[in-house]
Structure 1
């Protein structure tokens, strides 16, 4: 969630990574030799197969893990050493927060995260996500619960937003509305988004930048239009959008390079993140690592 210092409030929301490598305490590799420079107001898609290192990178960028000195700069400062106001990370541990499964109302939850301080933004999010403020959280569906969580996580204005696969429970219409709202945010004020996802619906024309990860490394990154220029027309031969066609090609090549997981002899790349016994694709076991 958003942090609480003002050290970054006047600096452009640029995300810079300089030759970042990270090794877990069990000596398994997380990410290797990553360099990125994502400008203010950019919307970056982080693309890669399960186990590519996307979650590890996002947690490092958000200051949830201690990266080597001088390898990460968010709004001009180290995100681990500085409490950055307006830097928000929404990932699996946030999704699994048990409070949103209790018998509590939407109004109370939104008020608990500052809804009364930002009434216009609160009402905009409630309308955009099609939330019924009469819902009781123990009695809603997973998709309805996710809408409320998104409203909670995004209610306070942020300057840098890191999203890690948090729209999987949204229906197509809700997800499209959510993505359009994020796009308007970056177009109307100084803010930056880095979004890891496998779901490419409604993303054609959304990203300004693309980052392709594979086995803990960044294989390629650039402005989206530059990378998409290699795909002819608006629809590829598989029926996907140009973005879908590009990503489909990346993942096919990555699979061929890596080979079957059972035969690849993978080290940390075959591990999973664990949160309270729930496992997802990624590097290392988060339940054994210290949290920030």
Structure 2
């Protein structure tokens, strides 16, 4: 890896971002600082800002902010070696056209990285004779990963791209990425809601809550001992899992990623509900008795309600 070891792979401080049509900020007081070779897991509920943060890091959304990757501003002087892989790729009509995988990979330069391409083809169990329009979503996702990872990366941003993979392929892929970070010093930021089989993957976790990083620092993983844990990290642990001063470290070391994520998400939902109530926001709810209210829409759609016939 080139570059000074003192330069952070990702350096974002107090990031704020608001969509043009948004009434509130999508990201606020968001801080992320990662050393080269880190494997960071983003944890947060749907809508917490994970995808927005990843797209900003990749330079795919413009923002009036100082977002540094390997010491470069991602908007003004983006560095080489940033790879972003998101779920929207599979819906692109181009990648659903009648073209073989071999021709598709060659069209994006696969021949330049033949050895690495072949390793990924085996790892992801991709058949070069597949036709892109005739394969499943999971197979198409494996082609995307092969395409995206063929060229060696310095920073890899993954946004839920393992959701379509079977267990074996997913585990093999994560092992490959772990080797990339150890052997080449590559940095990985991975947003996912699937926590089985990744307990040993991250070197740190980041909790995004309603657009905020809580705390404003990454949390080492596995969790450090109580005595060496930063006070902000200790305060940011879910109350159900937070140890007392007198507790030993055995409880901390036994916490799984799923347990930690679930406790955070439960707290996040409560906080979101409280904030919505304080702003006078009421979520839409269906009436308790669906037959107690008749509307014009209900009359119209009853003409096309096949549910009774389907269930008989």
Question: One fold, TM greater than 0.5?
Answer: yes
The structural deviation recorded for 1:265 is: 5.4
- Whether contact under 8 Å (1:211, 1:222) holds in the other structure is yes
Q: In 1, are the aligned partners of 2:15 and 2:27 still within 8 Å (CA)?
A: yes
1:66 counterpart = 2:62:
yes
Judging by fraction of residues, say which structure has more strand. Answer: 1
Question: How far apart are residue 225 of structure 1 and its match?
Answer: 2.0
What's 1:44 paired with?
A: 40
Partner SS state of residue 46, structure 1? strand
Q: CA–CA distance in 2 between the matches of 1:91 and 1:266?
A: 34
- Partner Cα distance (1:93, 1:203) in 2: 23
Q: Which has the higher helix share?
A: 2
- Which residue of structure 2 lines up, in the alignment, with residue 224 of structure 1? 221
Match of 2:30 in 1: 34
Is the CA contact (8 Å cut-off) linking 2:72 and 2:78 kept in structure 1?
no
Instruction: Indicate conservation of the 8 Å contact 2:203/2:221, yes or no.
Output: yes
Per-residue CA deviations over 1:109-151 (Å, capped at 9, x if unaligned) read 1111211111110000000001111111111111111101110
Look up the SS of the partner of 2:104 in the other structure: helix
CA distance in 2, matches of 1:266, 1:49: 22
By how many angstroms is 1:92 displaced? 3.0
Greater mean alpha carbon deviation, residues 26-35 or residues 105-114: 26-35
| 5+ residue gaps, structure 1 | 1-7, 237-241, 268-292
C-alpha deviation, 1:10, in angstroms: 3.6
Secondary structure of the equivalent of 2:214? strand
SS of residue paired to 1:213 = strand
TM-score normalised by L of structure 1: 0.80
Post-superposition Cα deviations, 1:1-20, rounded to whole Å, max 9, x if no partner, equal: xxxxxxx9645561011111
In structure 1, the residue matched to 2:130 is 135
* Corresponding residue SS for 1:17: strand
1:286: which partner in 2? Answer: none
Q: CA deviation at 1:96?
A: 2.2
Q: 1:30 to 1:262 in 2, by over 3 A?
A: closer
- 2: CA distance, partners of 1:177 / 1:255: 33
What residue in structure 2 maps to residue 56 of structure 1? 52
Which residue matches 2:166?
171
- The match for 1:106 is 101
Aligned pairs (5 A) from 1:1-292: 10=3, 14-28=9-23, 29-69=25-65, 71-220=66-215, 221-226=218-223, 232=251, 242-259=256-273
TM-superposed deviation, 1:235: 5.5
Any idea what the Cα deviations from partners look like across 1:252-288, whole Å, max 9, x if unmatched? 1111222289868598xxxxxxxxxxxxxxxxxxxxx
Query: Structure 2 stretches of 5 or more lacking a match?
Result: 227-242, 244-249, 282-312
Q: Please, what is the CA RMSD of the aligned residues? A: 2.5
Contact kept in structure 1, 2:12 and 2:33, CA below 8 Å: yes
Q: By how many angstroms is 1:86 displaced?
A: 0.8
Task: Please give the per-residue CA displacement for 1:188-234, whole angstroms capped at 9, x wherever unaligned.
Answer: 10210101111112111100010000111111332112369767277
Contact 1:159 1:192 in 2 (8 A): yes
Mapped contact 2:225–2:252 kept (Cα < 8 A) = no
